[in-house]
Amino acid sequence: MYSSSANMQGTLDDFHVEGMMMRYSVFVPKLYNYCKSLDFEAGMIMPSRAFCSDENQGFPIILITKHFGAFPFNHGQVGGVVATDRHGPHAHHGKHLVIIQASHVGFDPVTRTFGTYRRLQCENHDMSRSCGKIGDVLRWYQDEYSFAQENILLEHNGDEPLLIIDNQLTHAGREEGLLLNLDRLVQRFQREIADDVEGKEHLERNLIQPMPWIVTSPSPLLTAAQINTQVEFDRAFRSIVKEHSYRGKNLVYVAGLNIDISPEPGQLFPLTKFVPWAAYVQRQDGRHFTLEQEELMIRLQEQSSENPDQIDLEQAIHRMEEAQELRISV
């Protein structure tokens, strides 16, 4: 996907965050109404989410359930990786199909910084990395970059400038680490990563090539989440096109970024915002098209944020509590 530094920078620049955010309580009904405009039938839509397993992704799931009238199918792995082997089961669970994929990043409204989230269930409401999986992947690279920063020094011997580099950084025989290109100083990272698609190291493979841009970013976890969303959309929509079980069905696949704003005192859930990136739309008759960020945002903004088909979750739960007991015998 990123064949050159120019392409890499251009791809990142294309993913706008400012001016593209909308609350989940606005995004989900607008997405639902967009699906209705494509002849999706109320009560016949099976939503699916490809989110991280982090607890702060729960509020978006509640809103998806409320507006689509069904608890979303689980299409995701830790870090926001799409589990493409679940396409078939998802296709068999509904007449019309929706997939929402999003990497996520925390936001601290006090410090106005990305990458952390307040954990209300911890004893002291501790702040920790969010997304934690992305943070864990980045830690090794950030440590390598920090070591290089501290051990590449520019000094003077009289009027002559001297560049002092730690011997470890110039050792060409290293199997992994930050490798220097003395003409440009930094060439790239090298790391032994298993070739396991949708496995434990899948997320790291998505991020290693653009890693120099990530570790030097003012908000590394935000940049990493954006890149992972972009890579996963490219990979997943191609797998959807090839999936036989999806043929002959209406389908909307939307990818974006979840921004989890740490809850204020008295709040139970984050004020989650969604930043749309791209969408793939497939019609029942075989027509299909993709929407880039600005066009997707226009399509969503055209829709009403009122959803007459939304369900009352409290009432639905109450009805189940009041239902006659059904005894199961084995």
For the chain, the maximum distance between any two Cα atoms, rounded to a whole number of angstroms, is 91
- Which pLDDT tens digit goes with each residue over 93-147? 999 999 999 999 999 999 999 999 999 888 888 899 999 999 999 999 999 889 8
**Residue 226: strand, helix, or coil:** helix
Q: Rounded to an integer, what distance in angstroms lies between the CA atom of residue 39 and that of residue 312? A: 23
Least confident of 160-164, 173-177, 288-292, 305-309: 173-177
Helix (H) or strand (E) holding 275: strand 271-282
* Percent of the chain whose pLDDT exceeds 70: 94
Asked if 91 contacts 103 with a C-beta cutoff of 8 angstroms, the reply is: no
Neighbouring residues of 65: CB distance < 8 A, sequence distance ≥ 6: 71, 72, 311, 313
| Dihedral pair phi/psi, residue 307, rounded to 5° | -125, 100
Distance of CA 296 to the CA centre of its chain: 17
What is the pLDDT, as a whole number, of residue 150? 84
User: Is the model's pLDDT at 326 over the cut of 60?
Assistant: yes
Output the pTM of the full model.
0.88
Measured between alpha carbons, how far is residue 168 from residues 143, 150, 163, 174 in Å? 14, 13, 15, 8
Least confident of 21-30, 56-65, 81-90, 153-162: 153-162
Neighbouring residues of 277: CB distance < 8 A, sequence distance ≥ 6: 15, 226, 229, 230, 233, 255, 256, 257, 293, 296
Helix ranges, 220-287 (H): 220-242
What is the pLDDT, as a whole number, of residue 7? 63
Measured between alpha carbons, how far is residue 4 from residues 10, 138, 139, 228 in Å? 10, 21, 24, 17
What is the pLDDT, as a whole number, of residue 2? 42
Q: Rounded to an integer, what distance in angstroms lies between the CA atom of residue 255 and that of residue 268? A: 26
The string of DSSP codes covering 32-66 is HHHHHHTTPPTT-EEEEEE--S-GGGHHHHHHHHH
User: Is the model's pLDDT at 1 over the cut of 50?
Assistant: no
Helix (H) or strand (E) holding 2: none
User: Is the model's pLDDT at 218 over the cut of 90?
Assistant: yes
User: Is the model's pLDDT at 64 over the cut of 60?
Assistant: yes
- Which pLDDT tens digit goes with each residue over 2-15? 444 556 666 778 89
What is the pLDDT, as a whole number, of residue 154? 79
What is the pLDDT, as a whole number, of residue 175? 74
User: Is the model's pLDDT at 196 over the cut of 90?
Assistant: no
- Which pLDDT tens digit goes with each residue over 244-264? 999 999 999 999 999 999 988
What is the pLDDT, as a whole number, of residue 199? 83
Q: Rounded to an integer, what distance in angstroms lies between the CA atom of residue 259 and that of residue 68? A: 21
Taking the CB of residue 154, how many other CB atoms lie within 10 A of it? 8
Q: Where are the domains of the chain?
A: 5-131+217-322
For residues 126-151, b (16+ Cβ closer than 10 Å) or e, as one string? Answer: ebebbbbbbbebbeebeebbeebeee
What is the pLDDT, as a whole number, of residue 183? 57
Neighbouring residues of 88: CB distance < 8 A, sequence distance ≥ 6: 243, 245
Helix (H) or strand (E) holding 202: helix 202-208
Asked if 46 contacts 77 with a C-beta cutoff of 8 angstroms, the reply is: no
Least confident of 43-57, 140-154, 204-218: 140-154
Banded model confidence at residue 214, pLDDT cuts 50, 70, 90: very high
- Which pLDDT tens digit goes with each residue over 266-320? 888 889 999 999 999 999 999 999 999 999 999 999 999 999 999 999 999 989 8
> What tokens appear for 302 in the block?
């055209």
